[in-house]
Structure 1
Amino acid sequence: MARRQNPARPRWTELAQLFLDRKLTEAVALGALARMSPALTSDERLDALVREALKRGTKGSHGPREITPMEGVVIKAGRGSLSMSVKKSGVNADFATWLESNLEEIIKKSYAEFTDVNSKDDT
C-alpha cells in the first residue's frame, strides 16, 4: 500500500529552504505571524508566511562581510563568527610577526575594556 504524502509537506520544505537561503529570518517570520489573524488555520498561516517571505525577499546582505583595513589583512564577519587573516609575507610581514606575538594580550585587553563598558551591573 502506497503511503499518501501530507499535502503541507512541500510547503514546510519550501519554508525551510527560505530560511536556508536567508530569504527569511526568525525575526521577520515571528513578526509576520504576530500580525496574522488568530482565526487562520495552521495551513493558512504557513501559506501566508511563505507568501510574505517570497514577496519580501532579502533586505540587505546577510552573507559574510569582508573588510581589508590594510594590505595583507582581511577581516571576515559572518553570522556566526569573526575571523582575521594576516599574510606573513609581503609589505606587512613584520606586522604579521608582531601581531602573532601580541595578539593574545591585545584580545585580553580588548575583552576587559568591552566588559567594563558593557557590564550587566549598570542598572
Structure 2
Amino acid sequence: MSVVEDKVTELVNAIQDTNEYKRYQEAKNKLHANPELEQIVFAFRQKNYQIQNSKNVDLFWEVDHLERENIDIRKNPVAEEFMTAELAFCRLLQKINFRLVGGLNFEVGFVNER
C-alpha cells in the first residue's frame, strides 16, 4: 500500500472514532428500525436536496416552505435525532474536504467564475 493509502485508512479510522460519526450511526440504526418513518425522512431529504441544487428559485422561500410543510417530521424524536446527527457528520466531512482542497492548492472553480 502507498503512503497516501495508509493515511487515508488512518483518516477513515479517525473519522469512525469521532462523536459525530458514532452519533450518526446510532441515529441511522434507530431510523432503520422504523421503515415507515425512514421513508418519510428520506422523502424530505430528497426534496431538500433537489431544492438546494435547483437554479432560478427563491432558495429561502423554498426551504422555508419545505420546513413548514414537514414540521411534523421534526416533532418525531427519532427523525429529529437522525437529521441533526446527519448534519453534524456532514459538517465534519465538509471541514475535512475544505482542509484537503485548501491545503493542496487545487482550484475547483472555473475560469469564468473569477
TM-score category (smaller protein): under 0.3
Q: Which of the pair has the greater relative contact order for Cα pairs under 8 Å at 6+ separation?
A: 2
Q: Which has the higher helix share?
A: 2
Q: TM-score, normalised by structure 2?
A: 0.27
Q: TM-score, normalised by structure 1?
A: 0.25
Rg larger in 1 or in 2?
1
